[in-house]
């Protein structure tokens, strides 16, 4: 007997029944952004691979240089000169002889010639007639980056299951890696169901509406890097639904449909799933999105989302996304919550989790305040578009009073660093 699960039970059950994709592919590094690393990558070289200057200045042997300048003042003689005998720039090493009493002009990134242990920066010297006068001595080893100081050959560079960021691509390039092994993108087939649903480029007859779910869904799937198989709109016809689902299950890792999962006369998804697959559960104690079906057809997972546009977006973001992320081979992501104060009373019924669309803002004193978007109807997509967070109201909560703290899940995140 299928019972009604709580939100956290449903999440757990879905994740427990989610496998991890096993097929991998090799990619050019430049195409690797947001892909999931399929093999742990080890540093093939030390970084930096040679000892180099961190600043523009002069490479010296600090003890000798100090002796030459200070002995002169001690004995009241003219200081012994520190001659500048050569130059090293990035990519153009100094190949001349070593002289521990002399200096080499050196630029940032250039190899520090053997025998020199310190770089004194331009700002701390004066130069006259090709000789160096040091006003301020750095400590020994100053302004030098030692070979292997940042990264050591043989250590872990990127772990298997890490989703590659822009920084990771740069890091891999910096150690000479140009090809990477990643998990293949999961194939996710989607379609909308409903006799009344039409494509936005069609004209509407009486009682018909435009399909918004497939567009929101495709947008969310794109954001998490899925390979989308768009199967369009399928009418409320069990024979057709069975055929399409059966075919799609053999060519996809997950199937997502919207609509037809309630208990209406023309809600066929559960019946169809019972015949050609397996249902694990079909209701969650949540609002919006209570009629949510999870199961499988063949080796493909099945998510039956409710038809109401907000319900389908909310249930996707809370229950389907974590599963698809696991499927893709990536590390699970904890939901990012921010505590915020309720700007007014928030109505909530105890015994279910509510995901309300919210609008939060930061006040001058640094605290965050949130109010529910005006219309919380599960068909009102424009309040989802205006919202900037989901207010998470867990099972045990009832009405929240003005000024009480709630947890919000902000929509924004750093768009480039993640």
What residue ranges bind ligand AMP (CB under 6 A)? 192, 194, 196-197, 209, 211-213, 258-262, 264, 267, 306-309
Which partner, ligand AMP, Mg ion, none, binds residue 196 by CB below 5 to 8 Å per kind?
Answer: ligand AMP
Sign of CA dihedral 111, 114, 118, 120: negative
Distance in Å, CB of 8 to ligand AMP, minimum:
24
Residues 298-317 that bind Mg ion (CB under 5 A): 307
Binding mask 15-44 for Mg ion (x = CB under 5 A): ------------------------------
CA dist list (Å): 34 to 46, 125, 182, 219, 330? 26, 47, 10, 16, 10
Q: Count of alpha carbons within 13 Å of 333, Cβ hemisphere only?
A: 21
Question: Among residues 113 and 307, whose Cβ is nearest to ligand AMP?
Answer: 307
Smallest separation (angstroms) from ligand AMP to the CB of 312:
8
CB count in 10 Å sphere of residue 332: 11
Distance CA 379, CA 307 (A): 9
Q: Quick one: which of 32, 48, 138, 194 contacts Mg ion (CB under 5 A)?
A: 194
- C-alpha span between 7 and 1 (Å, rounded): 18
Cβ–Cβ under 8 Å, residues 20 and 326:
yes
- For residue 193, the minimal CB distance to Mg ion (Å) is 6
Q: Kindly indicate which of the ranges 27-35, 51-59, 145-153, 251-259 contains the residues binding Mg ion, using the contact rule CB under 5 A.
A: 251-259
User: CB of 293: closest distance to Mg ion in angstroms?
Assistant: 13
Residue 86's H or E segment, with its range, is strand 82-88
Q: Which does residue 258 touch among ligand AMP, Mg ion, none (CB within 5 to 8 A, set by kind)?
A: ligand AMP
Choose from Mg ion, ligand AMP, none: what does 216 bind? Cβ within 5-8 Å by kind. Answer: none
Considering CB distances under 5 to 8 angstroms, the limit depending on partner class, which of ligand AMP, Mg ion, none binds residue 308?
ligand AMP
Give φ, ψ of 330 to 5 degrees.
-80, 160
Output 57 or 194, the one with its CB closest to Mg ion: 194
DSSP 201-247: TSPP-TT-EE--HHHHHHHHHHHTT-EEEEEEEE-S-HHHHHHHHHH
CB of 158 to ligand AMP, least distance (A): 39
Q: Which is nearer to ligand AMP, 53 or 212 (CB)?
A: 212
Give, to the nearest 10 degrees, the angle between helix 238-251 and helix 269-276: 50
Q: How far is the C-alpha of 368 from the C-alpha of 405, rounded, in Å?
A: 10
Tell the smallest beta-carbon distance from residue 182 to Mg ion (Å).
38
Residues 4-34 as b/e (b if ≥16 CB within 10 A, e otherwise) read ebbbeebbebbeeebeebeeeeeeebeebeb
> Residues touching Mg ion: how many (CB under 5 A)?
4
Binding partner of residue 253 among Mg ion, ligand AMP, none, CB cut-off 5 to 8 Å per kind: none
| H helix runs in 46-94, sequence order | 62-74
Residue 336 buriedness (CB in 10 A; 0-12 / 13-18 / 19+): exposed
Query: Least distance from C-beta 261 to ligand AMP, angstroms?
Result: 6
**Which residue stretch of 67-75, 191-199, 227-235, 276-284 sits at the interface with Mg ion (rule: CB under 5 A)?**
191-199
Q: What, of Mg ion, ligand AMP, none, does residue 212 touch, CB below 5 to 8 Å by kind?
A: ligand AMP
CB of 306 to ligand AMP, least distance (A): 5
Please say which residue, 260 or 277, places its beta carbon nearer to Mg ion: 260
Rounded CA-CA distance 66/316 in Å is: 68
Q: Which is nearer to ligand AMP, 264 or 332 (CB)?
A: 264
């Amino acid at each position: 007997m299928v019972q009604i699960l709580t939100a956290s039970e449903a999440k757990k059950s879905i994740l427990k029944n989610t496998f991890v994709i096993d097929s991998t592919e090799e990619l050019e590094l430049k195409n690797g952004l947001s892909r999931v690393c399929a093999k742990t990558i080890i540093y093939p070289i030390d970084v930096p691979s040679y000892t180099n200057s961190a600043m523009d200045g002069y490479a010296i042997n600090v003890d000798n240089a100090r002796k030459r300048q200070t002995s002169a003042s001690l004995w009241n003689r003219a200081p012994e000169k520190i001659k500048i005998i050569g130059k090293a720039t990035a990519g153009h090493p100094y190949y001349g002889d070593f002289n521990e009493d002399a200096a080499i002009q050196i630029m940032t990134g250039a190899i520090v010639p053997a025998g020199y242990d310190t770089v004194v920066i331009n700002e701390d010297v004066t130069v006259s007639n090709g000789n160096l006068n040091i006003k301020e001595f750095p400590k020994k080893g100053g302004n030098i980056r030692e070979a292997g100081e940042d990264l050591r050959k043989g250590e872990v560079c990127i772990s298997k299951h890490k989703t590659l960021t822009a920084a990771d691509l740069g890091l891999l390039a910096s150690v000479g890696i140009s090809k990477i092994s990643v998990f293949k993108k999961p194939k996710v087939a989607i379609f909308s169901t409903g006799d009344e649903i039409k494509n936005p480029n069609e004209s509407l007859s009486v009682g018909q509406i435009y399909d918004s779910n497939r567009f929101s869904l495709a947008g969310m799937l794109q954001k998490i890097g899925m390979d989308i198989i768009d199967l369009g709109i399928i009418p409320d016809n069990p024979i057709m639904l069975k055929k399409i689902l059966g075919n799609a299950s053999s060519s996809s890792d997950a199937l997502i449909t919207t609509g037809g999962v309630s208990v209406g006369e023309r809600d066929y998804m559960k019946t169809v799933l019972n015949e050609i697959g397996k249902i694990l559960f079909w209701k969650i104690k949540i609002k919006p999105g209570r009629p949510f079906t999870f199961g499988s057809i063949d080796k493909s997972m099945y998510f039956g989302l409710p038809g109401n546009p907000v319900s389908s977006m909310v249930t996707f973001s809370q229950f389907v996304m974590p599963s698809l992320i696991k499927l893709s081979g990536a590390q699970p992501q904890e939901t990012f919550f921010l505590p915020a104060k309720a700007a007014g009373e928030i109505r909530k019924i105890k015994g279910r989790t509510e995901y309300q669309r919210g609008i939060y803002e930061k006040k001058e004193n640094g605290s965050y305040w949130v109010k529910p978007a005006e219309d919380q109807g599960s068909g009102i997509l424009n309040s989802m578009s205006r919202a900037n967070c989901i207010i998470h109201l867990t099972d045990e909560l009832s009405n929240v009073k003005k000024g009480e703290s709630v947890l919000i899940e902000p929509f924004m995140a750093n768009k480039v660093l993640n």
